[in-house]
Structure 1
Amino acid sequence: MARMHTRRRGSSGSDRPTADEPPEWSDVDADAVEARVVELKEQGHDPSRIGMKLRDEGVEGTPVPNVKLATGKKVTEILDENDASEDLPEDLRNLFERAIRLREHMDANPGDAQNKRALQNTESKVRRLVDYYRGDVLAEDFKYTYDVAKRLLE
């Protein structure tokens, strides 16, 4: 399958091995994993960063290769249960940040055609993702603009 804004095809990556239960060497209690997830969120980490920290550092010295296998819930589900989730999904927040950065760069450098195209592509992705989240996470009448994105990230 080709990439969204280029004609190139992506390089295929390896698939995660299928597993129904955590490996034997990672016998961490589910409650300890959930407590560590909430603790990492309070430190200001995003859900994807929390998963990497649990994989690398672990809980009580034991790595957690997959939070869902260890607890039966995804990181975002754990955060929702503990009222630690954010108002915007992580992927939409990251695209908002990128669009704002590109817009500010374009204001300072109006002749930069390459980044003008990158801004158009990024805002296209934002609008597509806003359509996906509209009604569930975002308000039904939500429209993306630079000013709205900047206000939401403050």
Structure 2
Amino acid sequence: MKKVQIHQNLGYLLTTATNALVTHMQRTILEQQIDVPFEQLRVLMFISNNEGVKQQDICTGLNKVKPGVSRLVDGLVKKKLVEQRSDKTDRRVKNLHITSKGVEVRNHFYPIGLGELKKIETHLGEKETEQLKNHLRKIKEIISNTENNNE
């Protein structure tokens, strides 16, 4: 069997690139004195872009498991960045809404986060950035199709 070079493995490269990005964003958040972890900010941004969303939709949209999303949402509610409201058609269901304090945090973080991502895109250049985005979309589609075929 041929020895695999771990540093050339697609899974390794995707994971380490993602980890590097998350670590970089977390450092940037700390430098900017934003008192919300990056993972919570991702959920806050999702709720902000999908007002009245349900937790299950966050799970699907961010490709996360329910217990993890519940923990992140609970943290956002505790910090008063998000509030839960009963659904008008089913009171058992809670819809999530960003609060005015959440909007302030979002408005502080968004240009910073976007600026950091733009730096990466500038380094890559327009053509490589588009190629990378297309490849990542294809990988996600392949994985989704594989999971759907296994159900």
TM-score, with normalisation over the residues of structure 1? 0.29
* Structure with the larger strand share: 2
TM-score, with normalisation over the residues of structure 2? 0.29
**Structure with larger Rg:** 1
* Structure with the larger helix share: 2
